[in-house]
Amino acid sequence: MIETERLLLRKPQHEDVDDVLGFVGDDEVMRWIGGEAGGREAAIDQVERWIARWDANGVGQFAVVLDGRVIGRVGLLVWDERSWETSSYQSAGEHAVTELGWALASAHWGNGLATEAARAVRVWAFAERGVERLISLIDPRNVRSIRVADKLGAVPEELVTTDHGPALVWVHPHGQLPAR
């Protein structure tokens, strides 16, 4: 569990499904993270996928809690850089790359919450999990996420193709940078 000035970041729980409905049912959110907006089944699938990734990798997406409600997720995802498909550390081996990703319900965009949560998770990833290289994969048209990456001091490195389309690989610096 990680606490920031305004947020609580914790492992996802099955009880989060009702709150996650607002996230997975939001066309604007799903546009940027892949997939279509859905209902309760999509929310259940999302929460189960988050939990499974924690079990497989010892890292994963944190549920972002604001005022007692889950408003999105911020955390780590493992990719195989040979294919740019999601994977596990065990399956990808030396080709595993760790992504810091963020997605909040659109009602919470523009308040600095994604940056606040991502900064805290980045510090945790480097200090507590020993991540050597941390990236963010961002659709080149996603101006809001690019702004978050920029505020975090990440720099674009290359353009790759994932199952969801093109993505810029943003590389994060080690350590915590002053807020911008």
Tens of pLDDT, residues 6-22: 999 999 999 998 898 88
pLDDT of residue 31: 66
pLDDT in the model for residue 41 = 85
Residue 175 has pLDDT above 70, yes or no: no
Looking at residue 53, its pLDDT comes to: 92
Does 98 score more than 70 pLDDT? Answer: yes
Residues 138-166 have pLDDT tens digits of 999 999 999 999 999 999 999 999 988 89
pLDDT tens digits, one per residue of 47-75: 998 999 999 999 999 999 999 999 999 99
| pLDDT over threshold 80, residue 39 | no
Predicted pLDDT of residue 180: 47
HEC readout, the chain: CEECCCCEEECCCHHHHHHHHHHHCCHHHHHHHCCCCCCHHHHHHHHHHHHHHHHHHCCCEEEEEECCEEEEEEEEEEEECCCCEECCHHHHHHHEEEEEEEEECHHHCCCCHHHHHHHHHHHHHHHHCCCCCEEEEECCCCHHHHHHHHHCCCEEEEEEEECCEEEEEEECCCCCCCCC
